[in-house]
Amino acid sequence: MRNLKIILIILCITLFFAKTLNSKIIIRQDKDGKVVITNENTTFVSKHNKRSKAYSSNYVPSYIYSRIKHFAKKYGVKEKLILAIARAESGYNRFAKSNKGAIGIMQLMPETASQYGVYNLYNVDENISAGIKHLRYLYNRYNKNIVLTLAAYNAGETAVEKYSGVPPYRETRNYIKRIFRFMNKPLSGYNFASSSSKSKLYKYRTKEGRVVITDRYPSKIKKSQISIIKNY
């Protein structure tokens, strides 16, 4: 009875502000039986239900879905791939923020976002657009290899360069597997172990003239000044 009173009080307050702000309020019950009050129309993307079990219990805000569809078409990237990435990255939550500082639906790092002229990382259009453009850039850089593209999106280009393939990070490998699972697509026998069997040693010269040899890719040094001296 007490819980009912609390819900009614919250509902009254919500409806008052909704009327004041001229917003549309939606009241629904989620799959766990909890009452959800929101101003966002959250709908199930039914078109994926028949084609992929991965989306059978996944809800996508209709506006976010429409923007993903729009920008995927605009930049020539498969809509199904972007939906899977957005689901894995943020669960379609525009306010998501990781402990590493990645923000928004496509979980962009501020440094990456700035490369694509993003002003507000929490803006749905800016976030999705920049995320897809960055994905397209990685896809072209890695010669249309989707596995390396996803590895770079998750772990960064430096890590992919260092290991000449998918880094031996559990998080990154599970991330790639999760994306393929969401798309209901096999990994085509890709052997992660083979990608980390070799690494590289990099050689470069500092401004002071000191020669440095390291197994970590020197991302702050110009590529023209870096040479690979050994595979091991």
Say which of 40, 79, 89, 157 is annotated catalytic. Answer: 89
Q: Is 111 a catalytic residue?
A: no
Only one residue has tokens 């390291």, namely: 214
CA distance 155 to 141: 15
Six token digits for residue 203? 């050689």
**Who contacts 82 (Cβ-Cβ below 8 Å, separation ≥6)?**
68, 71, 72, 128, 131, 132, 135
- Residues with a known catalytic role: 89
